[in-house]
Amino acid sequence: MTLRTLALSCLLACATALVVVHAQQPPAPAPAVTILRPARVFDGVAMHEGWGVRVRGTRIEAAGPVASLSAVDATVVDLAGTTLMPGLIEGHSHILLHAYNETTWENQVLREGLALRAARAVNHLRQKLEAGFTTVRDLGTEGAGYADVELKQAVEQGIIPGPRVLASTRAIVATGSYAPAAKTFALEWRVPQGAEEADGVDSLTRVVRDQIGHGADWVKLYGDYRWGPQPGAHPTFSREEMALAVA
């Protein structure tokens, strides 16, 4: 037998073995089916007595009268006396902040470390899920960098319980327009800010792209804020800057 013939025989034998092994792989098990049977279901519009919900794997497959939801080998969970409703969505959340009657916003940004704030956020996410919120849009970490993206990853990987997180990361402000206000500290200090500063088209382009690159689902831009010598909120970006950021 020549060397070439021997090599070809070995390749054919390996290919045959791979085909046999692949053929012997058991089929993936069908996702489990669960029927939730509460007293009533609220579908976001109306209340329905005697309805239930059928879940296949991790997805809701059907909702309607319980008699219409039967399925082979389904597990029935009796939720007598309860009302089942869709998960709530919180559109404006700050999971890395806690109540201002506990301590001020400025104390949290300047005096609480990132690990401490992240530990609080883990509790906040669990509490939101237990309260029925299945999605939260976090509109800025307020000085905590990209911690919201990593908390989102921790939820997705099953490390901590929590709702889906739509992250806005650091948010964007015009230089000198946000807080903590530099003029309330020694002016030679560079005071950490609660959001990322950017000015002009080129700077905004870089910052928007950078935040998206770090995992932002939304980009938050402060179009106005309480700054300058006059009371009340005032524009912080030009029309050209705002159009660039939105585009």
What is the average pLDDT value for the chain, to the nearest integer?
Answer: 91
Amino acid 229: pLDDT? 87
- pLDDT one-digit tens code per residue, 170-200: 999 999 999 999 999 999 999 999 999 999 9
**Dihedral sign (CA 26, 27, 32, 33):** negative
The dihedrals phi and psi of 116, each to the nearest 5 degrees, come to -65, -45
Rounded Cα gap, residues 132 and 151, in angstroms: 19
Residue 51: strand, helix, or coil: strand
- Check whether 21 has a pLDDT greater than 80: no
- pLDDT one-digit tens code per residue, 34-64: 999 999 999 999 999 999 999 999 899 999 9
Question: In sequence order, which residues have a C-beta less than 8 Å from that of residue 97 and are 6 or more positions away?
Answer: 105, 108, 142
- pLDDT one-digit tens code per residue, 112-136: 999 999 999 999 999 999 999 999 9
Residue 62: strand, helix, or coil: strand
- pTM (two decimals): 0.82
User: Scanning the structure block, which residue is given the tokens 């029935």?
Assistant: 76
- The Cβ-side half-sphere exposure at 11, using a 13 Å CA radius, reads 6
Q: What is the mean pLDDT of residues 211-221?
A: 97
Rounded Cα gap, residues 223 and 93, in angstroms: 19
